[in-house]
Amino acid sequence: MEHGNHMRPVNPLGFQNERILCIGSSKKRPVVKWENNMAWPGKVTLTDKALYFEAFDLRGKKDSTRLDLTTNKMQVEKTKVGPFGVVLFDSAVSISSGPKSETWVLEFVDLGGELRRDVWHAFINEVISLHKFICEFGPEEGDQSINQVYGAQKGKERATTSAINSIARLQALQFTKNFSYLQNVPYGDIVYQTLAVNYWGGALVKKYTDTDYRPSQVAGPSEEVLEISNHVYDIDGSVYLQKWKRSPSWESSASINFWKNSSINQGMVLSKNLVVADVTLIERAAMTCKEKCQLVEITQATIDAATLEGIPSNIDLFKELMLPLTVIAKNFERLRRWEEPHLTISSLAFSYLVIFRNLLPYIFPMMLMVLAAAMLTLKGLKDQGRLGRLFGKVTIRDQPPSNTIQKIIAVRDALQDVENYLQNMNVTLLKIRTIVLAGYPQITTEVALVLFSSAAILLFVPFKYVAACLIFDLFTRELEFRREMAKKFVTFLKERWDTVPAAPVAVLPFESNVSTQGDQQKKIDEQTKKKL
């Protein structure tokens, strides 16, 4: 039987100031620890700081071993185990702090499925995530400034209690989304920050005079203002000191914008956890996180729907997406081959006119402006409902039915890389199609504004200066003074790109030519009769 004794400092194994969260021990569903391809059954105990394992043998219990979960590099992963290195059972977790550290592999035997392993994985992950949160967002151990903020001494206990309560809910409901959930979701760092301000924030007991962490050393009447200007404040005035902001997430643009607007309230603040006619900072961050998660899920759903199975279908989709470029290339080839001399002569005359009249610098800006105007026009028509709901949908024909052998040949391992490459390229082209055809109006507006801005720069700034800036940018991206800035910019573009949904794809059923098949069958029957 597995049970949890949360919030109770039981000490059967000599725990030091630790609270037992869950105990795993059962004869029907044992816990097995794998070491050097050997399985040792025993008893697992999870506390708020460590994981304990007591191995059983014929003589009774062995001494328990302890794995500290409070280090910042700890991680837990689901894994497969089996005798002699053969992975057979998908019912284990691996806990370690790095490739060269001690690794525990625990198998939670459950003949009914993987639920037991998943629950224990969530338990351990929650404890690890709790201590990562405390390490990144809480004051350092032994920090004396914690005594200068009223109630900050209890911040670590509040965070631990929150994690313990989430584990207790999981034990009752088999579901939780708390510290471990926030690690991998958009805007999760901002929720972390609001939790940290809620746990450790409080009123200043006395004037903050830690000179080692002053943001400015300017003397005079403005020193007090500069001294506290970089602290974080909750809606009730509770202070979270600047020196506690050790996580890199505080420097992100999302964090700066959130805390810049955190003082805007439309309700009456009774306390930092109670606001009338408005929401608290934690609720505000949680709602934004939920909205961004829903947006990511919707975007991922469009990508999953656009990811077709089978190489022939992906090739057909790629051809359909590349059709506009194919038409342009064919028309250009017709001009180059003088298939229509009057069009070729007109094109040459226009090209020479642009070159010798020094109009070449205006060609690219005009193309950008025409493209941006076309995108905004399509956006306006779509907002008015004139383009229809199916506008922008890509339509291809399904492949003819095939037998098992043909399918095996089509998806052989040698062509798997080609299929993945085509899938990724198709998703990229579908996202570009969504932007151009106003499938996502907000992104379309932003891209159109960027195109207009680029056109304005190219119009009013000489091209030689623009080229010089581009070359300077290209050769300085990896230098130390620009590396972080370029990395943040690339990360920002990637985040925006990930939020763009893919254009919808419709696969029509395969249409066979019945008359042609009938004629072929008649010919086969006639040839068979002649041979007989």
Q: Summarize pLDDT for 505-522 with one digit per residue, the tens.
A: 777 787 765 455 555 566
- Tokens linked to 446: 């932003």
Question: Which of 56-70, 189-203, 398-412 ranks highest by mean pLDDT?
Answer: 189-203
Task: Give yes or no for residue 94 having a pLDDT over 90.
Answer: yes
> Where does residue 131 fall: left (phi above 0), alpha (psi -120 to 50 degrees), or beta otherwise?
alpha
Q: Do the beta carbons of residue 301 and residue 266 sit within 8 Å? A: no
Residue linked to tokens 């939920």: 290
Q: Summarize pLDDT for 119-166 with one digit per residue, the tens.
A: 899 899 999 999 999 999 989 888 888 888 888 888 999 999 988 888
SS3 sequence, 386-427? CCCCCCCCEEEECCCCCCHHHHHHHCCHHHHHHHHHHHHHHH
- C-alpha span between 102 and 112 (Å, rounded): 30
Query: Beta strands 50-57 and 104-108: pairing type?
Result: unpaired
The whole-number pLDDT of residue 77 equals 92
- The whole-chain average pLDDT of the chain stands at 77
- Tokens linked to 100: 């060269």
Q: How open is the CA angle 178-180-182, to the nearest 5 degrees?
A: 70
Q: Do the beta carbons of residue 235 and residue 262 sit within 8 Å? A: yes
- Tokens linked to 234: 């909750």
- Tokens linked to 337: 């081959």
Q: Which residues of 407-425 are buried (b: 16+ CB within 10 A; e: fewer)?
A: eeeeeeeeeeeebeebbee
- Taking CA atoms, 452 is separated from 9, 366, 466, in Å, by 65, 10, 16
Report which of 136, 134, 155 is spatially closest to residue 239, judged by C-alpha positions: 155
- Taking CA atoms, 485 is separated from 252, 254, 341, 416, 450, in Å, by 11, 15, 52, 37, 20
Burial of 461 (0-12, 13-18, 19+ CB in 10 A): exposed
Give the pLDDT band (50/70/90) at residue 352. confident
- C-alpha span between 335 and 314 (Å, rounded): 31
To the question of domain 1-137 being in CATH 2.30.29.30, the answer is: yes
Question: Which of 253-262, 269-278, 477-486, 501-510 ranks highest by mean pLDDT?
Answer: 253-262
- C-alpha span between 423 and 235 (Å, rounded): 48
Q: Do the beta carbons of residue 77 and residue 98 sit within 8 Å? A: no
Task: Give yes or no for residue 212 having a pLDDT over 70.
Answer: no
Q: What is the DSSP letter of 362?
A: H
The whole-number pLDDT of residue 523 equals 62
Mean pLDDT confidence for 322-330: 83
- State which amino acid sits at residue 354: V
Q: CB count, 10 Å around CB of 215?
A: 13
Give the containing element (helix H, strand E) for 144: none
Mean pLDDT confidence for 205-224: 46
Q: Summarize pLDDT for 439-454 with one digit per residue, the tens.
A: 878 888 888 999 999 8
- C-alpha span between 312 and 399 (Å, rounded): 7
At 222, is the secondary structure helix, strand, or coil? Answer: coil
Question: Which of 106-115, 150-159, 379-388, 500-509 ranks highest by mean pLDDT?
Answer: 150-159
The whole-number pLDDT of residue 133 equals 92
DSSP of 265-310, one letter per residue?
A: -SSEEEETTEEESS--HHHHHHHHHHHHHHHHHHHHHHHHHH--SS
At 24, is the secondary structure helix, strand, or coil? Answer: strand
The whole-number pLDDT of residue 128 equals 92
- C-alpha span between 42 and 404 (Å, rounded): 47
pLDDT higher at 158 or 307? 158
Q: Hey, where are the domains in the chain? A: 1-137, 178-306, 310-460+502-508
**What torsion, rounded to 10 degrees, do the Cα atoms 247, 249, 252, 256 define?**
-80
Query: Beta strands 50-57 and 60-61: pairing type?
Result: antiparallel
> Where does residue 220 fall: left (phi above 0), alpha (psi -120 to 50 degrees), or beta otherwise?
left
Mean pLDDT confidence for 55-82: 82
Burial of 161 (0-12, 13-18, 19+ CB in 10 A): middle
Query: Beta strands 50-57 and 38-47: pairing type?
Result: antiparallel
Number of H helices, E strands in the chain: 17, 16
Q: What is the DSSP letter of 244?
A: G
- C-alpha span between 12 and 1 (Å, rounded): 17
Region of poorest pLDDT, from 157-166, 180-189, 293-302: 293-302
**What torsion, rounded to 10 degrees, do the Cα atoms 346, 351, 356, 362 define?**
130
User: How much of the chain exceeds pLDDT 90, in percent?
Assistant: 7
Q: Summarize pLDDT for 453-465 with one digit per residue, the tens.
A: 989 988 888 877 7
Q: Do the beta carbons of residue 132 and residue 165 sit within 8 Å? A: no
Residue linked to tokens 């579908």: 430
For the chain, the straight-line distance linking the first and the last C-alpha, in angstroms and rounded, comes to 76
- Maximum Cα interatomic distance, the chain, rounded to a whole number of Å: 114
